[in-house]
């Protein structure tokens, strides 16, 4: 018995020792684990915990785009994509789920039932781009109330354009799925997408916000947003330009048209209308030819509006004076190539003409004679100064260089035809910015649609003198006097004197060889008021179909309507004596 007790005691001591060793071993492991977690892996675990408390928030907004007066032109809204996961609604009646979804999404219940009953896929797309308020205020509350499982509501942002198609070719569009952007949406994409540095929001296991002293209430409600972009565009002037252009296209049955309104003093584009236009939110539903900003990318022979630059070059270099007379025979042969005026009548040649007559009657013979007085290299260099044959550098994508042949290729006929706007090709933007330099006392400024702060202006905008102030002032007087001397009403509006010029040119064939029959470009470019030019306006109409397809009869009336309304809205002081108003209107 005694031996048995000794044996049991020995066994108990051994067992107790085992338990003590086991306990201390377990305690040691715990201590080591605590040391590892608290010291060596604390940083990693804190980060992991932070991630678990921060629900992934992929929704962010691009910056809004406004006009110069803070009218919103583009912004983002939140919408939902809805998905179903069959693995998670096995105990939910599918008919119940289909009934709720059909009611709110306006879909057929039977089709939804069939779709949701298909358990071959782990994820089923129920609907995309669903209205935010519909989901938040109606659908989700009912889903929760009826305890429907397996539905996933995924937030995402959508770009919207509150003004519809207004300024569509300036704004452009976005498609991040295909990585396609256009307009200022592309030019300024980096800043529009640049999000502010903000403290992340933390959530508990049920998705509720964990508030602390640093939690921003606005951040809880609104997604982070990129930088705001302000344009130089004036929505009111843009609307006027598009409306009057639309009326003109309808009246003349033209294919397309463009209007650009420019502030010559700083290069700001106040309106840039291109028709037909499109809705940027649905750009993919339109023909690419409509979506393209052809006033930037396509070139055309500017015709008689180019005579302004021909005379500017000759005056600046001293090869003609404002008082010179030129013999206009109505028709002339250059290297056996006959060139005549648009209104040439045999036996009724104009004879000696001055520069005012040249502009007023758009003399081709007079213009080519002026051009031929200028040495080829000097003529070419002056046109390059005006940025003909070069991109203006506008802050929009897709700009064309235009076509200006090198002077070594200029024979006498080519230089002569360049004198009145042929043998070259420009964009409407090049013409309006070149004439803008004359309106700005000879100083050319890069045209632009983004409103820059003072410190950024000179970084992005080029300012250069093209011709002297004296030459610019002489040209302005000649152009204004020629408008007053014309029988046409193009460029003649109450209260304001306008310096301007009409243009009509034949439309080249798509392959560049020859011209299309009965197809022309008509245009009018002018600036006002003559006393202190504040607006330069160019109207270009492609392929009008009327009895009289001229710049004065097609583009001129559109210019007049836009110029008068724009001047009044901008509060520009009149510069025409009141006694002349009745003469103009009669």
| pLDDT, greater one: 582 or 226 | 226
Mean of the pLDDT values across residues 53-73? 79
In a domain? residue 62: no
188 secondary structure, DSSP code = T
Whether 499 and 535 have beta carbons less than 8 Å apart is answered as: no
pLDDT in tens, 257-307: 999 999 999 999 999 999 999 999 999 999 999 999 999 999 999 999 999
Q: For residue 559, what is the domain's CATH number?
A: 3.40.710.10
Per-residue confidence band for 346, with pLDDT thresholds at 50, 70 and 90: confident
Task: Give the structural domain span for 128.
Answer: 72-162
The structural domain count of the chain equals 2
The pLDDT assigned to 60 comes to 77
Residues 245 and 136 in one domain: no
201 secondary structure, DSSP code = P
pLDDT in tens, 69-118: 999 999 999 899 999 888 887 777 888 888 989 999 989 988 888 888 88
The pLDDT assigned to 339 comes to 94
Whether 263 and 444 have beta carbons less than 8 Å apart is answered as: no
Beta strands per DSSP E along 390-498: 443-445, 463-465
The pLDDT assigned to 52 comes to 45
Nearest to 277 by CA among 167, 404, 156, 393: 167
Residues 397 and 301 in one domain: yes
In this predicted structure, the answer to whether residue 206 has a pLDDT above a threshold of 80 is no
The pLDDT assigned to 345 comes to 86
The pLDDT assigned to 584 comes to 43
The pLDDT assigned to 446 comes to 98
| Lowest-pLDDT choice from 51-65, 179-193, 299-313 | 51-65
Per-residue confidence band for 8, with pLDDT thresholds at 50, 70 and 90: low
Residues 454 and 548 in one domain: yes
Q: What are phi and psi of 12, to 5 degrees?
A: -65, -45
| pLDDT, greater one: 156 or 278 | 278
337/322 Cα distance (integer angstroms): 29
Place of tokens 């502009």: 359
In a domain? residue 113: yes
Give whole-number Cα distances, 326 to 2, 48, 127, 414, 489, in Å.
147, 86, 74, 20, 26
Identify the domain boundary among 162, 192, 219: 162
| pLDDT, greater one: 94 or 200 | 94
The pLDDT assigned to 581 comes to 42
Nearest to 189 by CA among 177, 200, 202, 179: 179
In a domain? residue 56: no
The pLDDT assigned to 121 comes to 82
Q: For residue 76, what is the domain's CATH number?
A: 3.90.1310.10
Residues 273 and 383 in one domain: yes
Q: Which residues contact 523 (CB under 8 A, 6 or more apart)?
A: 302, 303, 305, 428, 431, 502, 503, 504, 538, 539, 540, 541, 551, 555
Mean of the pLDDT values across residues 314-332? 95
294/78 Cα distance (integer angstroms): 33
Residues 463 and 577 in one domain: yes
Nearest to 522 by CA among 510, 500, 507, 537: 507
239/67 Cα distance (integer angstroms): 12
In this predicted structure, the answer to whether residue 351 has a pLDDT above a threshold of 60 is yes
Mean pLDDT of the chain: 88
Parallel, antiparallel or unpaired: strands 229-230 and 65-66:
parallel
Residues 132 and 248 in one domain: no
In a domain? residue 192: no
In this predicted structure, the answer to whether residue 442 has a pLDDT above a threshold of 60 is yes
In a domain? residue 60: no
In a domain? residue 82: yes
In this predicted structure, the answer to whether residue 562 has a pLDDT above a threshold of 90 is yes
Residues 141 and 239 in one domain: no
Burial environment of residue 254 by CB neighbours within 10 A (0 to 12, 13 to 18, 19 or more): buried
Per-residue confidence band for 331, with pLDDT thresholds at 50, 70 and 90: very high
Identify the domain boundary among 162, 180, 209: 162
The pLDDT assigned to 87 comes to 83
In a domain? residue 14: no
Residues 388 and 302 in one domain: yes
154/149 Cα distance (integer angstroms): 15
Residues 490 and 578 in one domain: yes
The pLDDT assigned to 213 comes to 52
The pLDDT assigned to 220 comes to 47
Residues 368 and 497 in one domain: yes
The pLDDT assigned to 215 comes to 53
In a domain? residue 205: no
pLDDT in tens, 230-261: 999 999 999 999 999 999 999 999 999 999 99
Residues 416 and 323 in one domain: yes
Mean of the pLDDT values across residues 400-410? 96
The pLDDT assigned to 202 comes to 58
In this predicted structure, the answer to whether residue 53 has a pLDDT above a threshold of 50 is no
Identify the domain boundary among 130, 162, 194: 162
The strand pairing partners of 337, in sequence order, are: 334
Residues 409 and 495 in one domain: yes
Give the number of other Cβ atoms within 10 Å of residue 356's Cβ. 18
pLDDT in tens, 11-51: 666 666 767 777 777 777 777 776 776 776 666 655 555 54
């Amino acid at each position: 018995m005694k031996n048995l007790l000794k044996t049991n005691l020995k066994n108990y001591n051994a067992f107790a020792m085992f338990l003590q060793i086991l306990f201390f071993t377990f305690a040691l492991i715990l201590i080591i684990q605590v040391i590892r977690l608290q010291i060596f892996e604390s940083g990693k675990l804190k980060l992991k915990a932070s991630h678990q408390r921060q629900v992934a928030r992929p929704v962010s907004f691009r910056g809004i785009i406004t006009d110069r007066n803070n009218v919103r032109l583009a912004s983002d809204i939140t919408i939902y994509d809805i998905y179903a996961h069959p693995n998670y609604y096995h105990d939910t009646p599918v008919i119940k789920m289909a009934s709720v979804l059909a009611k709110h999404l306006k879909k057929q219940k039977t089709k939804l039932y069939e779709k949701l009953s298909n358990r071959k896929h782990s994820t089923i797309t129920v609907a995309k781009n669903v209205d935010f308020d519909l989901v938040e205020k109606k659908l989700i509350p009912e889903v929760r109330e009826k305890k429907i499982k397996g539905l996933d509501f995924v937030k995402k942002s959508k770009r919207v354009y509150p003004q519809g198609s207004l300024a569509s070719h300036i704004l452009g569009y976005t498609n991040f799925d295909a990585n396609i952007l256009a307009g200022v949406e592309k030019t300024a994409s980096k800043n529009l997408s640049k999000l502010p540095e903000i403290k992340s929001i933390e959530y508990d296991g049920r998705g509720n916000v964990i508030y602390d002293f640093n939690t921003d209430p606005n951040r809880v409600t609104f997604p982070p947003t990129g930088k705001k972009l302000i344009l130089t565009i004036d929505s009111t002037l843009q609307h006027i330009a598009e409306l009057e252009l639309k009326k003109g296209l309808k009246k003349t049955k033209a294919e397309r048209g463009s209007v650009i309104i420019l502030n010559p003093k700083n290069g700001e584009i106040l309106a840039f209308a291109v028709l037909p236009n499109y809705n940027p939110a649905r750009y993919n539903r339109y023909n690419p030819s409509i979506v393209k900003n052809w006033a930037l990318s396509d070139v055309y022979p500017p015709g008689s509006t180019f005579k302004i630059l021909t005379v500017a070059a000759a005056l600046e270099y001293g090869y003609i004076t404002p008082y010179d007379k030129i013999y206009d025979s109505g028709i002339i042969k250059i290297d056996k190539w006959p060139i005549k005026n648009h209104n040439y009548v045999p036996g009724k040649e104009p004879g000696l003409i001055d520069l005012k007559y040249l502009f007023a009657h758009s003399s081709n013979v007079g213009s080519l004679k002026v051009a031929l007085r200028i040495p080829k290299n000097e003529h070419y260099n002056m046109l390059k100064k005006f940025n003909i044959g070069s991109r203006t550098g506008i802050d929009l994508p897709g700009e064309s260089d235009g076509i200006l042949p090198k002077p070594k290729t200029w024979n006498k006929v080519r230089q002569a035809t360049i004198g009145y706007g042929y043998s070259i090709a420009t964009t409407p933007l090049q013409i309006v910015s070149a004439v803008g330099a004359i309106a700005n006392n000879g100083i050319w400024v890069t045209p632009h649609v983004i409103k820059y702060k003072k410190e950024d202006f000179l970084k992005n905008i080029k300012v250069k003198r093209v011709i002297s102030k004296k030459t610019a002032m002489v040209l302005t007087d000649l152009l204004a006097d020629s408008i007053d001397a014309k029988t046409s009403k193009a460029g003649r509006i109450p209260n304001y004197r306008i310096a301007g010029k009409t243009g009509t040119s034949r439309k080249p064939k798509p392959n560049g060889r020859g011209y299309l029959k009965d197809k022309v470009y008509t245009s009018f470019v002018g600036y006002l008021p003559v006393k202190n030019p504040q607006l330069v306006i160019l109207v270009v109409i492609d392929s009008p179909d009327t009895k009289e397809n001229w710049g004065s009869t097609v583009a001129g009336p559109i210019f007049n309507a836009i110029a008068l309304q724009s001047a009044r809205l901008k509060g520009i002081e009149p510069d025409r004596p009141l006694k002349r108003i009745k003469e103009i209107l009669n």
